[in-house]
Amino acid sequence: MPLASIPSPSQGVWHLGVVPIRAYALCIVLGVIVAVIIGERRWRARGGAPGTIVDLAVWAVPFGLVGGRLYHVITDWQLYFGPDAPNRPIEALYIWNGGLGIWGAVALGALGVWFGCRGRGISLSAMADTVAPGIAVAQAIGRWGNYFNQELFGSPTDLPWGLEIDPDRPGTVAGVSTYHPTFLYESIWDLGLALVLIWAGRRFALRHGRVFALYVAGYTLGRFWIEGLRVDTAHHILGLRLNQWTSIILFVAAMAYFWYAGRKTGEESVGVTPEPVPDGAGAVDPAHPSDSGDEADEADGTEQSAATDPGAEAAAEGAVDPAHPSDQADEAEQDEHGDGPDRPAASPEEITPHAVSGGEKEKR
């Protein structure tokens, strides 16, 4: 019995009424939220539009979950479809019970991001470099879900940080109570990797997907060692676990791309951001867009007429108000006969014939 150890949680599921709250799912959700926050800050610092990472997460998260589960089920199919499978086939859909392959999550998640970037005119390599550190942090947080599920632990150990595992869990050894906490090893590794990615990206001005390539190379390097400590069921090829071979292949591919992308010098698009419009310049009332547009057109037309036709202003002064045509007509007639304010008042003899004449005209 070791002198010190890390205890496992007594439960990984809590019930809020009839709704189960699973620690594994909470760790994944928290990891996604933190990754989005980190990515959003890095994207704005690069000159991208605010809110872009949040919008792209709508594409990446569902694609990533499906990809991660598919990879797990395909590589560990014997757990659900084998003759002595410990799980029912329907449980292949029970993502909350654990089982997400990071390779499938990143691959299919990248496909979802590509769909989102394509519609916005954003370079996929620029986006990959931006979100790489956040992905590493999300993995560091998500690994704690394995801790609550008491799964994916390592071989037996007497080290002071050995992880206590219940004796009835798959992969345990009779008479052994503590195992390597591989979840903790990977969590610490991922956090350190995220810091290295941020530092290297700034120090060497890495672009064109080189930060993301560095993430893949760094993660697979640590994963190869950690995978070798695990005792859970896995396929073996030439003495190595399947995920170790996957790590080797991806490490070589990532380093090859890192070298290749170093020769690229072109600009990467971060999308088109509309330029701000000055206050009051061409503003349209959102409640009456058509009226505002008509008023603007009328104002422009009036100014142009006044500028091109010197007599336009004078003609406008003689215009008749449609609301009082008779009053303005009388005024115009008075001005014509000189009955303006500067003319002396007319004598009774002058008014009477005019009034009579006007009366005769109305009878006709």
Biggest alpha carbon–alpha carbon distance for the chain? 137
Q: pTM above 0.75? A: no
Residue 127, H or E segment: helix 124-142
Over the range 251-269, which residues count as b (16 or more CB within 10 Å of their CB) and which as e?
Answer: beebeebbeebeeeeeebb
Which one-letter amino acid corresponds to residue 278?
P
Q: In angstroms, how far is CA 131 from the centroid of its own chain? A: 11
Q: Dihedrals φ, ψ of 124, to 5°?
A: -65, -35
Residue 277 gets the label, from left (phi > 0), alpha (psi -120 to 50) or beta, of beta
- Answer for the pair 6, 161: CB distance below 8 angstroms, yes or no: yes
Non-local CB neighbours of 91 within 8 Å, separated by 6+ positions: 80, 97
Residue from 238, 262, 243 nearest 186 by CA: 243
Tell me the pLDDT of the chain (364 aa) as tens digits.
Answer: 566 899 999 899 999 998 999 999 999 999 999 999 999 999 999 999 999 999 999 999 999 999 999 999 998 888 899 888 888 999 998 887 878 888 899 999 999 999 999 989 999 999 999 999 999 999 999 999 999 999 999 999 999 999 999 998 988 999 999 999 999 999 999 999 999 999 999 999 999 999 999 999 999 999 999 999 999 888 899 999 999 999 999 999 999 999 999 999 899 999 855 555 555 554 555 444 445 445 545 545 544 444 445 544 444 454 555 555 555 545 555 555 444 444 444 444 444 444 444 444 444 4
Q: Dihedrals φ, ψ of 7, to 5°?
A: -75, 145
**Cα–Cα distance list, 67 to 102, 159, 162, 331 (Å):** 8, 36, 32, 86
- Answer for the pair 284, 293: CB distance below 8 angstroms, yes or no: yes
Non-local CB neighbours of 151 within 8 Å, separated by 6+ positions: 98, 169, 170, 232
DSSP assignment letter at 14: E
